[in-house]
Chains A and B, each alone.
Chain A
Amino acid sequence: MDASSLPAALELVSGGGAGLSPEKRAVLGSSLLLLQRDYRFERVWFWGCIQGVCGAYYIAQGLGPDRAAPRSRLYSLNCVEWSLLPPVTEEMVTQAGRLKGRFQGDPSFEYEYTERNAEDAERLFEDGKEPMIKEEARLVATIEQIDRAVGIVPRGAFVKTPLGSVSENRNFEGLSLTEAKRLSSYFHFTEPVDLKNKTLLEKADLDPSTDFLDSLEHDIPQGSWTVQLEKGGTVVVLRSLLWLGLTFYHVPMTKQYGYVYFGNGEKNLDLPFML
């Protein structure tokens, strides 16, 4: 969620019971602003909080002029001092995907591999030492996975300029109530995977400036999003069941929207059994 709308947004997202203490809320207002100054971000998003066993990580993201470019990610243990996370690589993501269990809460903690397959064994012989992965790398890989899988925005909120860069749509007035209850009105805010598979007939109806992302309709498994109206029907809240803790809110017919993650940082692999 955007740092400027943090207080109001936290009120709307608190239906799940998770939120921030008044101390953190107070300090975030200023520390995120300072982040924007120091790193020269155009926008700063408060991404959320990953609970570890001993402590919690608070994550912020900074965006440049092209909102679809890879984002800089920062973490903090107390919302006051922020540290930049290393940019994520595919290797990090695959390594982190193999780790199971909770985050520890200590960024320098090193995980040992418990599963060995043929590739790791070969690498062992080459390096001569066990492959370890640091919690920092796991953290950034998890954030990237979550963003890729369940980071969503409403349709029409972002436009793609003819030059290819993505920016916010100033004419976005918000989704109507009926539109807001449909999954097809929300897009994944990452590189689209499904677009090129659409038939020509479907593509003819799309508007290339706003429909350049994948919608939520075809997410696997079906039913991995819950759409609810909260606060007496004034806020539409989408919760992801694949990554438990990701909450997206939108007030229909207004420009307010955003998503935040409050959770363990673990994928819910039991989802097919639970539906």
Chain B
Amino acid sequence: ERGHGPYQPHEPGYGLYQPGYTPYDDQIPDPKSQMLAIQNAKAYLLKCSTTSGLNLYDHLANMLTKILDEQPTNAVDIIENISKDVKWAQFQKKMDTLRNEHEILPTFEAAEKRKALFLKANGEGDEELEEEIGETPLPNVMETAFYFEQAGIGLSKDESYHIFLALKKLISVQPIQTCRFWGKILGLEMNYIIAEVQYHEGEEEEETEEEAVTEEGGKGVGEVEDEEEEKEKEDEPPKSTYKPPPVIPKEENGTGANKYVYFVCNEPGKPWVKLPPVTPAQIVCARKIKKFFTGRLDAPVVSFPPFPGNEANYLRAQIARISAGTQISPIGFYQFAEEEDEEEEVDGGRDTYEENPDFQPLSVAEMVDSLSAWVHNVQSILKQGRCVWLNPLQKTEEEEENEEEEKAEEPDELPQELQQEIGPPLLTPLSEDEGIQNIPAWTAQPSTNLIPQYAVAVLQSNRWPGAYAFASGKKFDNIYFGWGHKYSPENHAPALPPPVQAEYPSGPEITETRDPTVEEELAFKAAREEALATAEEEEDEEGAEEDEEEDD
């Protein structure tokens, strides 16, 4: 049989052996073997491909049929495309008895939820319509979105409208007095949409669950104490003298850092979840860590120092910090309520304000030029983690009684005097905000330089990137879009673990002394023998004297 010659242009010897001139042509092929060769070649061409089920023979036949039927111009140039077309046509003729199940994409479910926002709840009569048109706590999200859009900040109109409807749903479910779209915090898997809310006075659900837990905890401690008294008779390992620092109690709902209640949801259409009130320990810890939010409220926050809580608490703490640092209003919009008894000592400054009915808005140019035209309207959080300083070592009456009941096992320790922490009072102008390095804390810009008559004054925070505020005439608002972290030009340095604690107090009875060396021991022995020898001599003398006396 003829050998397989070089087929590729780059193989050596290509083109040398033209048909009829190969080195094997002088061998006249046996007609039988030629037939065999033809059959082998045809069998090879008829071999089905393993991947597509086609075979070259049929494909070539179809291709040539198509070319002869259609007679395209320049067939040789487009032969590859024709080949591809024939192959595609082949696939379509394949009839599969299995029918594809109609794919239910997750997008359909999401669309279902979003559509539900637009449906009016059943059973709404005309009465309810009238109620809605009156005073409603629902904020005009679209109006705020319009002003922020002038500055290039904000979500798309679609999303804003969905949030609008979601807020409306929230208000219809909960007894809410004021409501505001606080902003959006981005997360790894999902994002958070946050609403800031104030309940009607007196309608707030009291958290009875927490109180029950502390009562049970108290009883548990009493039982343990009885057991300890029995065990005291037995030998016990030394008890630790470590006293954890006193827990600073969280602020009451409705005051300080817990003034507002926050609801979050991952997407408009999903149910709103209430965030728990924030404790000072959580704020203090949140200042030391920097973690991305995952989007699931029950996710653990793995960090050092260990965060006391899960992602819902971390989110609430960050919201508290951001609000305290960046919620601002034009000066004069809010004023302190004039109280009759101003002689009352107000520790930590006043915490309530009311709208000023005589507010005269400043022009946009003035709002942009000077930062003192804006004031903070949320109390700043002290180092302690609260807005109003509380001395944790101050014993209340209840605690004093408890101490008398307990055994006085603990040695008396002098309580360290804690300095009262004072923060800037409410309604301080922004010009007092300290910048970071040489960057001012806020950047103010008008929304447009081309049309100053209708421009909006916009402020961006440089300390909390993502916090914005706008003011235009009598309208103003704050919003936050971001990842929820503070800006720091230096890299985040995590807290180092505390120094290793001393295991035991070192004293002479525990400290090891050096063993005496051999020379010292010998010297000691020699000295002792000398002392004994002198003592014996003395005894012998005495004994001799006594003997002498007895002899007499």
Distance between B187 CB and nearest chain A CB, rounded to angstroms: 8
Judge whether B107 and A21 touch: CB under 8 Å: no
B106, B158, B159, B184: the one within 8 Å of A233 (CB): B106
Distance between A72 CB and nearest chain B CB, rounded to angstroms: 25
Judge whether B158 and A231 touch: CB under 8 Å: yes
Distance between B149 CB and nearest chain A CB, rounded to angstroms: 7
Residues of B137-159 whose CB lies within 8 A of A: 149-159
Does B544 lie at the interface of the complex (its beta carbon under 8 Å from any beta carbon of A)?
no
| A11–B160 CA distance with the chains assembled, in angstroms | 12
Distance between B443 CB and nearest chain A CB, rounded to angstroms: 6
A231-B158, A273-B494 known; A101-B437 Cβ under 8 A: yes
Judge whether B159 and A15 touch: CB under 8 Å: yes
Residues of B within 8 A of A12 (CB): 156
| A275–B302 CA distance with the chains assembled, in angstroms | 9
Judge whether B186 and A239 touch: CB under 8 Å: yes
Judge whether B292 and A275 touch: CB under 8 Å: yes
Distance between B552 CB and nearest chain A CB, rounded to angstroms: 101
| A100–B189 CA distance with the chains assembled, in angstroms | 30
Residues of A within 8 A of B329 (CB): none
Residues of B within 8 A of A24 (CB): 152
Does A145 lie at the interface of the complex (its beta carbon under 8 Å from any beta carbon of B)?
no
Distance between A79 CB and nearest chain B CB, rounded to angstroms: 11
Does B76 lie at the interface of the complex (its beta carbon under 8 Å from any beta carbon of A)?
no
A14-B159, A274-B292 known; A232-B107 Cβ under 8 A: yes
Residues of B163-215 whose CB lies within 8 A of A: 183-184, 186-191
Judge whether B448 and A21 touch: CB under 8 Å: yes
Distance between B39 CB and nearest chain A CB, rounded to angstroms: 34
Point out residues on A near B: beta carbons under 8 Å. 11-12, 14-24, 51, 53-55, 78, 100-102, 177, 223, 226, 228-229, 231-234, 239, 241, 244, 264, 269-270, 273-275
Does B276 lie at the interface of the complex (its beta carbon under 8 Å from any beta carbon of A)?
no
A21, A228, A241: the one within 8 Å of B152 (CB): A21
Residues of A within 8 A of B188 (CB): 223, 226, 241
B150, B465, B487, B491: the one within 8 Å of A22 (CB): B150
Does B476 lie at the interface of the complex (its beta carbon under 8 Å from any beta carbon of A)?
no
Residues of B within 8 A of A270 (CB): 290, 491-492
A14-B154, A102-B462 known; A274-B186 Cβ under 8 A: no
| A233–B270 CA distance with the chains assembled, in angstroms | 14
Does B481 lie at the interface of the complex (its beta carbon under 8 Å from any beta carbon of A)?
yes
Chain B, interface size category, equals 35 or more
Distance between A8 CB and nearest chain B CB, rounded to angstroms: 10
Residues of A within 8 A of B156 (CB): 11-12, 14-15
Judge whether A21 and B190 touch: CB under 8 Å: no
Distance between A56 CB and nearest chain B CB, rounded to angstroms: 9
A18-B481, A177-B105, A226-B188 known; A53-B462 Cβ under 8 A: yes
Judge whether A17 and B107 touch: CB under 8 Å: no
| A228–B290 CA distance with the chains assembled, in angstroms | 22
Residue contacts A-B, CB under 8 angstroms, 21 given: A11-B158, A14-B155, A15-B186, A17-B155, A17-B184, A17-B482, A18-B481, A21-B152, A21-B447, A23-B448, A24-B152, A53-B439, A78-B449, A100-B489, A226-B187, A229-B110, A232-B113, A232-B267, A233-B105, A233-B106, A270-B491
In this complex, what residue of B is CB-closest to A275?
B292
In this complex, what residue of B is CB-closest to A23?
B448
A22-B150, A53-B462, A273-B494 known; A231-B440 Cβ under 8 A: no
| In the A-B complex, the 8 residue pairs with the closest CB atoms | A17-B481, A233-B107, A21-B152, A270-B492, A232-B110, A233-B110, A14-B156, A11-B156
Does B57 lie at the interface of the complex (its beta carbon under 8 Å from any beta carbon of A)?
no
Residues of A within 8 A of B429 (CB): none
| A226–B191 CA distance with the chains assembled, in angstroms | 11
Residues of B239-259 whose CB lies within 8 A of A: none
Point out residues on B near A: beta carbons under 8 Å. 105-107, 110-111, 113-114, 149-159, 183-184, 186-191, 267, 290-292, 437, 439-440, 443, 445, 447-450, 460, 462, 465-466, 481-483, 485, 487, 489-492, 494
A15-B159, A17-B466 known; A234-B190 Cβ under 8 A: no
- Main SS class of interface, A: loop
Residues of B within 8 A of A102 (CB): 439, 462, 489
Judge whether A16 and B150 touch: CB under 8 Å: no
Judge whether A228 and B448 touch: CB under 8 Å: no
Residues of A within 8 A of B149 (CB): 19, 21-22
Judge whether B292 and A21 touch: CB under 8 Å: no
Judge whether A17 and B153 touch: CB under 8 Å: yes
Residues of B within 8 A of A226 (CB): 186-189
Distance between A266 CB and nearest chain B CB, rounded to angstroms: 8
Residues of B within 8 A of A20 (CB): 152
Judge whether A269 and B152 touch: CB under 8 Å: no
| A89–B313 CA distance with the chains assembled, in angstroms | 47
Judge whether B155 and A15 touch: CB under 8 Å: yes
Apart from the given pairs A18-B481, A223-B188, A232-B267, 9 other A-B contacts in the complex at a CB distance below 8 Å: A14-B154, A14-B159, A17-B155, A18-B152, A19-B154, A23-B447, A241-B188, A269-B491, A270-B492
Residues of B within 8 A of A177 (CB): 105, 107
A17, A54, A229: the one within 8 Å of B443 (CB): A54
Residues of B within 8 A of A21 (CB): 149-152, 447-448
Residues of B within 8 A of A53 (CB): 439-440, 443, 462
Distance between A211 CB and nearest chain B CB, rounded to angstroms: 19
| A21–B491 CA distance with the chains assembled, in angstroms | 32
| A229–B183 CA distance with the chains assembled, in angstroms | 19
Residues of B within 8 A of A274 (CB): 290-292, 485, 492
| A223–B154 CA distance with the chains assembled, in angstroms | 26
| A137–B158 CA distance with the chains assembled, in angstroms | 39
| A12–B155 CA distance with the chains assembled, in angstroms | 9
In this complex, what residue of A is CB-closest to B160?
A14
Residues of B within 8 A of A78 (CB): 449
In this complex, what residue of A is CB-closest to B438?
A101
| A275–B492 CA distance with the chains assembled, in angstroms | 13
